[in-house]
Amino acid sequence: MLENEPERVRADLKHQGARIMEHMKISIHIVLASLICLGCSGNNPATITVTGGSLAECPSSPNCVSSQSDNPKSKIDPIMYGSSKEEARARLIHIITSMDRTRIITETNDYLHIEFTSRIFRFVDDVEFQIDDSKKIIHFRSASRIGYSDLGANRKRMEQIRKKFLSY
């Protein structure tokens, strides 16, 4: 078939095929760039705040940990402290701001809302801290804004923050 066609027709078909492949590559790059720049951050969830003295419960998906959770899959130990609330809060803020790709969204005397953004795909995780000075405890909740699984990223981050806090 093509072997029987004139050489010019074969060359034209080969050139058209190469152009189509190049356009497909460009289209794939545009879609990936759009996802990275726009699609991965999601919207700020309405559950970010303290309600009735507690942080919101984690969803059933495995991309959230909370020191106030009753679910063993999302339960994580809170941070204990023995200093004043002001010293504990200052230590916590120092640790958070020393970490890459963090942004403090809300900051009060006993509450912090922080956004952590992943390096490559720019996924945003919302982290909340609630300082209970009467019990000398810092409760927290860390949840992925989008997706189902975070491959343990929220738990790992919170364990890292606790370790830094206790060794500070």
* Cα torsion 22, 27, 33, 36: sign: negative
Looking at residue 163, its pLDDT comes to 97
Per-residue pLDDT of the chain (168 residues; tens, 9 = 90+): 555 667 776 777 777 777 777 766 765 645 444 444 444 455 556 566 677 789 999 999 999 999 999 999 999 999 999 999 999 999 999 999 999 999 999 999 999 999 999 988 899 999 999 999 999 999 999 999 999 999 999 999 999 999 999 998
Which residue has tokens 């809170």?
A: 78
Looking at residue 19, its pLDDT comes to 77
Region class of 147: left (phi > 0), else alpha (psi between -120 and 50), else beta: left
Inter-residue contact 67 to 143 (CB < 8 Å):
no
Backbone phi, then psi, for 51, in 5-degree steps?
A: -125, 125
Q: Cα angle vertex 115, ends 93, 54, to 5°?
A: 75
Looking at residue 24, its pLDDT comes to 67
